[in-house]
A and B are shown apart, each in its own frame.
Chain A
């Protein structure tokens, strides 16, 4: 599971209002509704001029995530994710990653 976040504070990081150009990505591995690994990665692609959505999408595909959480996605990345069969969940900006996952029932 990955969410785009405003900070690098793991499960406490607030979800960013934007996706491809957010400052951080927070990646959470979940098993039996518990986090087994939480990682915050600065978004190296945030400043790119064009095609940022697909570049980020490609990076997500490479890292093997299966669920993406975002308030909204750009048209390019949503096209890519849907073609690759990755699930997209909508969450409002500002709530923490942990809270969003609990609301979705992905975490206890």
Chain B
């Protein structure tokens, strides 16, 4: 079973929920956790950091055009053909703006003298680690300033699927990136259930609504958890209605959560009696794991 935790807006408590869910599921049939927030991967840290790295694989997720200026006849076909405005004319020939380039190679395709070659570019790494809290985490690390994170997320999920088969782990928990873009779509696609973490603020609800819309398009079942509901209880109550999503539970604001991060210990291990931990346990049992 693949459970994705996402939020539409950043900082609402995705990593908090997914790290503790992984701890809970460890004893309920086994779990492999996936950190799909490859631009800011924090899940491993929330689970205590890496005790040992199981494997690491470099990731070449992009192709980059390189131009042979000796061959180039300055016909500017490539400049005109690029849909992303990533090529500009210059006296020596076309110049590539790699920030805009999507690496799809239309420039190379239209070049009449074969002066443009595509080369594979390193954009990140994938690795699996055993966390201090005893959870296997598959995580990606996108090179700074790189794109194409959706494909990397897809690869991470594939690796997690294989590993969960090998180990007979019943669950996979995917901690998604904030937002609704490419990496989030890759995280949700093919999952069994999406859990939206939402705070009682209009900004968070707005993000969550957009996320629910995406999940509907991908036909993934969606449930909601309201985090820090007591910061605005009235507003929190109206959230399921606003999102048109079934609520599985609410978690109160609790300083113990912040402390658990400071100590890099998941709340369920650090302070299982805290009120936030109690609410989490209730949520996990409602989910029927």
**In the complex, is A directly touching B at CB under 8 Å?**
yes
Residue A47 at the B interface, CB < 8 A? Answer: no
Which residues of B in the span 258-286 have a Cβ within 8 Å of any Cβ on A? none
Residue B26 at the A interface, CB < 8 A? Answer: no
Task: Say whether chain B's binding surface is mostly helix, strand, loop, or mixed.
Answer: helix
Contact of A75 among B158, B161, B165, B190 (CB under 8 A): B190
Task: Say whether chain A's binding surface is mostly helix, strand, loop, or mixed.
Answer: loop
Residue B210 at the A interface, CB < 8 A? Answer: no
Task: Report the bound CA distance from A75 to B185 in whole Å.
Answer: 11
Query: Per-position contact with B for A73-84: 1 when CB-CB < 8 Å, else 0?
Result: 011000000000
Residue B189 at the A interface, CB < 8 A? Answer: yes
Using CB atoms, name the residue of chain A closest to B189: A75
Using CB atoms, name the residue of chain B closest to A52: B158
Question: Are B190 and A74 in contact, CB atoms less than 8 angstroms apart?
Answer: yes
Query: For residue A74, which residues in chain B have a CB less than 8 angstroms away from its CB?
Result: 190
Which residues of B in the span 126-144 have a Cβ within 8 Å of any Cβ on A? none
Residue B151 at the A interface, CB < 8 A? Answer: yes
Query: For residue B190, which residues in chain A have a CB less than 8 angstroms away from its CB?
Result: 72, 74-75
Q: Which of A21, A74, A75 has the most CB of B within 10 A?
A: A75
Query: Per-position contact with A for B173-205: 1 when CB-CB < 8 Å, else 0?
Result: 000000000000000011000000000000000
Name B's A-contacting residues (CB within 8 A). Answer: 151, 154, 158, 161, 165, 189-190, 218
Q: State the 10 A-B residue pairs at the shortest beta-carbon distance, nearest first.
A: A75-B189, A75-B190, A50-B151, A17-B165, A74-B190, A75-B218, A18-B161, A50-B154, A21-B158, A72-B190
- What are 10 A-to-B residue pairs whose CB atoms are below 8 Å? A17-B165, A18-B161, A21-B158, A50-B151, A50-B154, A72-B190, A74-B190, A75-B189, A75-B190, A75-B218
